Amino acid sequence: MPGPDLDRVAELERGLAALSSVAQIDKEGHVWARWYGSWSKGAVGVINQPVVALFVASYASDNFDIQQVSDFVSLHSRSGGLASYAATDAGTGLSLFELAPTLPFEPESEGLGEAMSVATMAYGMEACATGADLLALTSQTFGWDSHKDQVAKQILAAKGRQDAEILLAQAVGRDIPALMGAMAAATYERIPVLLDGDQAHLAAHLIYLLVGKLPGHILSVRRPSWFTHEVPAVLAQGHDGSVSGVDAALSVRLLKSKIAMTHDLVGILNA
Convert the pLDDT of each residue in 182-195 to its tens digit.
999 999 999 999 99
The answer to whether residues 36 and 68 belong to one domain is no
Give the confidence band of 52 by pLDDT, cuts at 50, 70, 90: very high
Residues in Cβ contact with 122 at an 8 Å cutoff, skipping those fewer than 6 apart? 181
Give the tens place of pLDDT for each residue, 61-112: 888 899 999 999 998 888 888 889 899 999 999 999 999 999 999 877 778 9
pTM, 2 dp = 0.88
CATH of the domain at 73: 3.40.50.10210
The answer to the question of residue 249 being in a domain is no
pLDDT at 246: 92
Q: Whole-angstrom Cα distance, residue 138 to residue 238?
A: 15
pLDDT at 58: 95
The answer to the question of residue 164 being in a domain is yes
The answer to the question of residue 113 being in a domain is yes
C-alpha count within 13 angstroms, C-beta hemisphere, residue 170: 8
Q: Whole-angstrom Cα distance, residue 164 to residue 124?
A: 18
Flag whether pLDDT at 10 surpasses 90.
Answer: no
Q: Whole-angstrom Cα distance, residue 51 to residue 155?
A: 28
State the pairing for strand pair 218-222/93-98: unpaired
**Which is higher by pLDDT, 31 or 144?**
144
Give the confidence band of 27 by pLDDT, cuts at 50, 70, 90: confident
Sign of the Cα torsion 7, 10, 16, 18 reads negative
The answer to whether residues 108 and 23 belong to one domain is no
The answer to whether residues 61 and 113 belong to one domain is yes
Q: Whole-angstrom Cα distance, residue 164 to residue 248?
A: 27
Mean pLDDT along residues 208-213: 94
The answer to whether residues 103 and 235 belong to one domain is yes
pLDDT at 78: 82
The answer to the question of residue 1 being in a domain is no
The answer to the question of residue 72 being in a domain is yes
Comparing 15-19, 110-114, 124-128, which segment has the lowest mean pLDDT? 15-19
Range of the domain at 22: 6-43+257-270
